[in-house]
Amino acid sequence: MAKSKLHSGALWQFRLSILIAFLPFIVFFSVLSAAVFNAGWFIFLLFLILIGILLAEIFARMSYDRWFYEFTDTNLKLERGIIWKRYSNIPYERVQNVDIHRGIIARIFGFSSVVIQTAGYSMPVHGRGIIAEGLIPAVSMEEAEKIRDFLMKKISRKGSGL
């Protein structure tokens, strides 16, 4: 099977997460500039916001263009990263559960996130949902259902020999 790309709605998810990450820096530098430059802080704040939006757009597009997943006969391969590439191979034997998440952004843009929980890796994190080894952050709703069905069949075959 060939490498698959994420749903195009993932760009919005990436943009918003990056802008939220930049928000504390924008606030910090705008307060600092207000204290140092008594008059020009508002213009500096607008400049910081524009820079933040520009950086978020660049980072979102680069993240989207470098995120791939592939299902092989024995495992799921994930490839992601801009500066540091991260490659994951998840053998189907380690898959324990497959969840589909549809947050507000996902529902607006028509995509789902597939969370693949594996033995020894998945854990709940307060306020952030579940951190899982196998996360496909944005696929169409139909594709998410197909992925879940495919993996659940692999899980049921694994357990049938016990």
Instruction: Per residue of the chain (162 residues), give pLDDT as tens.
Output: 578 889 988 888 888 888 888 888 777 877 777 777 665 667 777 787 888 889 889 999 999 999 999 999 999 999 999 889 999 999 998 898 899 999 888 899 999 999 998 877 655 554 555 567 788 999 999 999 999 999 999 887 655 544
- Decide if 6 contacts 137 (C-beta within 8 A): yes
Tell me which amino acid residue 108 is.
I
Residue intervals in the chain for CATH 2.30.29.30: 68-159
Q: What is the pLDDT of residue 50?
A: 85
What does the alpha-carbon distance between residue 88 and residue 137 come to, in Å, rounded to a whole number?
14
The residues pairing with 136 across neighbouring beta strands, listed in sequence order, are 114
The CATH topology of domain 68-159 is PH-domain like (2.30.29)
Buried b (16+ CB within 10 A) or exposed e, 54-83: eebeebbeebbeebbbebeeebbebebeee
Cβ–Cβ under 8 Å, residues 11 and 64? yes
- How much is the pTM? 0.77
* pLDDT confidence of residue 111: 93
